[in-house]
């Protein structure tokens, strides 16, 4: 399973996580190339279906990277996102798929290092789980 390269979709808040991404880029910290970044104005607008669709298309993992709870410009964006991630975790569990394949991370705008760490952690987690079985 060593050659397994998980396909991961990351939904990133354009205010915090994406700036962190920029910082990380400046720091020449490489993001794993198997992560597809989707920038959103606020994680609070990510619908449950958005989080499910990647799995339908063959993704092995999905995560949301958003603000710290006290720094969301739209007050409760990340809180809402976290609840939807929880909902999708429950759905995945019901479908017999490991709920760890989806997660939510909170970070501040300047933390480039953290952004890369989170990405690597998610890759490791999903690698550990292996691909979503397709019978």
Q: Which residues bind another protein (CB under 8 A)?
A: 47-49, 52-53, 55-56, 58, 91-92, 94-97, 132-135
DSSP the chain: -TT----EEEEEETTTHHHHHHHHHHTTPPPPTTEEEEEES-GGG--HHHHHHHHHTT-SEEEEEE--GGG-TTSSHHHHHHHHHHHHHHHHHHTT--GGGEEEEE--TT-HHHHHHHHHHHHHHHHHH-SPP--
Give the nearer residue to another protein in terms of CB position, either 3 or 134: 134
Give the nearer residue to another protein in terms of CB position, either 54 or 112: 54
Give the nearer residue to another protein in terms of CB position, either 26 or 94: 94
Q: State the minimum distance, in angstroms, from the CB of residue 133 to another protein.
A: 6
The candidate with the shortest Cα–Cα distance to 42, out of 75, 70, 9, is: 75
Give the nearer residue to another protein in terms of CB position, either 27 or 38: 38
Q: State the minimum distance, in angstroms, from the CB of residue 97 to another protein.
A: 6
Q: State the minimum distance, in angstroms, from the CB of residue 49 to another protein.
A: 5
Q: State the minimum distance, in angstroms, from the CB of residue 94 to another protein.
A: 3
């Amino acid at each position: 399973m060593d050659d397994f390269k998980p396909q991961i979709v990351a939904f990133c808040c354009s205010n915090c996580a994406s700036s962190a991404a920029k910082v990380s880029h400046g720091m020449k910290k490489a993001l794993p190339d198997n992560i597809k970044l989707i920038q959103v104005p606020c994680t609070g607008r990510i619908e449950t279906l958005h989080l499910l669709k990647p799995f339908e298309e063959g993704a092995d993992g999905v995560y949301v990277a958003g603000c710290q709870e006290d720094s969301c410009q739209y007050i409760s964006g990340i809180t809402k996102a976290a609840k939807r991630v929880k909902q999708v975790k429950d759905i995945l569990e019901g479908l017999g798929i490991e709920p760890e394949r989806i997660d939510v991370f909170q970070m501040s705008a300047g933390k480039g290092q953290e952004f890369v760490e989170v990405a690597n952690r998610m890759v490791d987690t999903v690698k550990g789980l292996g691909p979503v079985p397709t019978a």
